[in-house]
Amino acid sequence: MHNACLAPSWIRTEKMAKKVTKIGVLTSGGDAPGMNACIRAVVRTGIFHGLEVFGITRGYAGMIDNDIQKLESRSVANIIQRGGTILKTARCKEFLTPEGRKKAYKNLKSHGINGLVVIGGDGSFKGAQIFSNEFDIPCIGIPGTIDKDIAGTDFTIGFDTAVNTAIEAIDKIRDTADAHDRLFIVEVMGRDAGYIALHSGIGTGAEHILIPEKKTDVEAVLASLQEKEKRKKLVNIVVVAEGDDFGGGNDLAELIKERIPGFDIRVAILGHIQRGGSPTSMDRLIASRMGYSAVECLLEGRINVMVGIVNNKMHFTPLDKAIKAKQRISEEWLKIVKILAS
């Protein structure tokens, strides 16, 4: 047990005086492949322990609108292989207000719900932390985001599927790039985090990988491409995260066209295909482990923690720390990129 990650004792004894008997589960923020597997695990683990489990549709918006229904074991049959989320997801400005959260609390109490599992990213966890502090509903967070930008876990639900989707697309792009001697700039998702770009770029042998975490040296990229042009290496793949400090794929293409007119350049923006699709075996497995562990946390009296996996063991991080800390890309990864792309 990770005692350092438990909430302070006064919070636990005051808020956990009542045994958790009915729990709600919701998905919030961006959808991620594997969320359905996680919902399934929460529902069936809860039922196994004699709890009543309620699905909250459209995240915090559903809490405010009382879009809440009881789920049975059969309610989550045949969903583990499906992308997206059967509970749907939405962003909810009203939940940012005390009035909105009070309305949500009244709706949960009307169903007798006294425990909450929130599957989402740091914005979702922030809402859960505030909500739990204001009312007597213990919350457990599960990291569901394709960006893998949350500290306290080696994996987030959806990341592995998103990377594999990007790799499959880039492999196909390289085939056509090779046929025409083209430079392809592939833009992948990652507004604030470059993990998808990093992993898919390394996995496809990209010549350059541009990520938000590292300032882009455009002149170095241009010099490298010019050197490759002299060597008659005209097939190049540049993977760029949408949130790179220089800009996205189109911005980079315009500059290269201007400075190196000899290259035949194409831009491919992968966009939302990275969010969809059937989850990989890894995403199904980690989602199942996390969903199971979230219910166990509520039964054990842990509150306001995020369930993660570190070194293949369950790890629990206080929600406030998970919100503040970002998963950082190590210098070793950046060194690997530099060496292998040369």
Handedness of CA 144, 148, 152, 154 (dihedral sign): positive
Active-site hit among 31, 122, 147, 283: 147
Residue type, 21: T
- Tabulate helix, strand, coil % of the chain (nearest 5): 45, 20, 35
* Phi, psi values for residue 289, rounded to 5°: -65, -45
Ramachandran assignment for 232, one of left (phi > 0), alpha (psi -120 to 50 degrees), beta (any other): left
Contact 260, 234 (CB under 8 A): no
Among residues 332, 306, 308, 336, which one has the least CA distance to residue 319?
306
Q: For residue 138, give every residue at least 6 positions away whose Cβ sits within 8 Å of its Cβ, in sequence order, or none.
A: 15, 16, 20, 114, 115, 116, 132, 298, 302, 303, 304
Report the alpha-carbon distance of residue 113 to residue 93 in Å, rounded. Answer: 23
Report the alpha-carbon distance of residue 321 to residue 333 in Å, rounded. Answer: 24
Among residues 163, 103, 179, 111, which one has the least CA distance to residue 134?
103
Residue 147 falls in the annotated catalytic set: yes
Handedness of CA 144, 149, 153, 155 (dihedral sign): positive
Cα-Cα-Cα-Cα dihedral of 20, 25, 29, 35, to 10°?
130
Report the alpha-carbon distance of residue 175 to residue 237 in Å, rounded. Answer: 11
C-alpha 327 chain-centroid distance: 11
Report the alpha-carbon distance of residue 147 to residue 4 in Å, rounded. Answer: 27
| Catalytically active residues, by annotation | 147
